[in-house]
Amino acid sequence: MSNLHAVSDATDSDNRPAFTRRISTVNLMEGMYVQELDRPWVETPFLFQGFKLEKQREIEILQELCEFVYINIERGIDAPDVYLQHDPSRKVTMRELVQVSKLQHRKNEYKDTTHVEDELGPAKESHRKSQRLVDDLFDDIRNKGKLNVPAVREAVDEITDSVLRNPDAFMLLRQLKSKDTYSYSHAIDSCALAASFCRHLGFPKDELKDMAMGTLLLDIGKLKVPKEILDKQDRLTEEEFRTMQRHVTYGVEMLIAAGSISKTTIEMVATHHERLNGKGYPQKLKGETIPVSGRIAAIVDCYDAMTSERPYKKPVSAHDAIRELYKWRGTDFQEELVEQFIQCLGIYPTGTLVELNSGQVAIVLSQNRVRRLSPKLLLILNADKVPYEKPHIIDLMKYEEETLAERLTISHALDPEDFDFDPSDYYL
């Protein structure tokens, strides 16, 4: 397929009229007027040489037969801005992003304004409220076909305000995952992850919220994908996979129709399945042609999906997901962004069950922003793996100097399924 930037300027190089646009068939939308194909009309089932798209099936046939078509913007709708070249004034080059990812010249330095223990209560309430908002939001789209933008902004505000105070509380709440509500929890958790990551990178608050909104809405297009495909536990057929891929276009269409959605948010939905090596979808964009927002969305989306219980796949631990992302740096995901994502979450992300060099077992309660290998822990089992009567908190960064005892370090991550308790019961 031709890429997301394949829409022509005012006139094509072969002198087509200014009111025509060359567009990838992946980006076709109902209401566009198809004037010309990349193949003879007689090789298609269409009776008329030029027609307005009124049915989704017409789009699907064109996607199966053609890589691109020419649309007439005087007789039908034009291609949305997100399908045009990105504004050069907003483009961030790889070199510039390397500077951002190394935390040079950051625009904002965010400080924790609450301790994780104090933020857990407000974060729980924000999580419950955002869950209700997202439930209603998805129901509205499913039943009415419309996106309630004020409700989206309210949910994003609930999540980002908590994350800006202290990101660790929402990271702990990511443990509240359910196989039956994957779409809802994935939306909320991805939103919190994006907010936390953009906070770490020092994005201005308004841009941070645009990015958080984008990740909240990444998969809204799946509401138009048949449920039997979404829930299928076996490998998808080629045709089923093409249908699944269309959720990206469906999502973009919904955002554009809703209006008052930022370009950054739409870009994230349009490009979150693209990969650095050009092997993503739907456009097979590569390297710098993927907007920064899309590169960030791809990492967040992949990490949360790996660590979530899905209908067709068991989750991996946060620690193992971090290791997988590190293996994919430079191929699927931008290397500098992966490294900063790991710095943001920590080698042992908040909520991870770990064993110390002493044999004690603990839950990572919060990250130390200065020394990522020395987080704050909630000790729950002693060296003999017997539960403490009352779990207690220790800060590895301060433990040695405060107690003059032998240094405590994390030995390795543990699988919660190897124990007969749920770690989240200790703090949720």
Question: Which domains are present in the chain?
Answer: 20-83 (no CATH), 94-345 (1.10.3210.10), 353-426 (no CATH)
The residue with greater pLDDT, 360 or 81, is 360
pLDDT at 83 over 70: no
Overall average pLDDT of the 79-95 stretch: 47
Spatial separation of the C-alpha atoms in residues 399 and 391, rounded to whole Å: 16
What does the block give as tokens for 342? 């790991």
Spatial separation of the C-alpha atoms in residues 52 and 35, rounded to whole Å: 9
338 CB-near residues (< 8 Å, 6+ apart): 299, 325, 326, 328, 329
* Three-class secondary structure of residue 96 per DSSP: helix
The phi, psi pair for 397, rounded to 5°, reads -70, -30
Locate tokens 């919904």: which residue?
Answer: 254
Overall average pLDDT of the 61-90 stretch: 71
pLDDT of residue 199: 93
The residue with greater pLDDT, 28 or 272, is 272
The residue with greater pLDDT, 89 or 156, is 156
Length of the chain: 428
- Contact in structure between 210 and 219 (CB atoms under 8 Å): no
pLDDT of residue 177: 60
Chain segment 306-362, per-residue pLDDT in tens: 998 776 678 888 889 998 999 999 999 998 899 889 889 988 999 999 999 999 999
Name which of 115-124, 231-240, 258-267, 350-359 the model is least confident about. Answer: 231-240
Instruction: Tally the C-alpha atoms within 13 A of residue 20's C-alpha that lie toward its C-beta.
Output: 16
The residue with greater pLDDT, 313 or 55, is 55
pLDDT at 85 over 60: no
Query: How many Cβ atoms from other residues are within 10 Å of residue 399's Cβ?
Result: 18
Spatial separation of the C-alpha atoms in residues 363 and 366, rounded to whole Å: 9
Chain segment 16-35, per-residue pLDDT in tens: 788 888 887 877 887 889 99
Cα–Cα nearest to 338, from 369, 376, 296, 368: 296
pLDDT of residue 166: 95
Chain segment 387-416, per-residue pLDDT in tens: 999 999 999 888 766 665 677 889 999 988
The phi, psi pair for 279, rounded to 5°, reads -100, 15
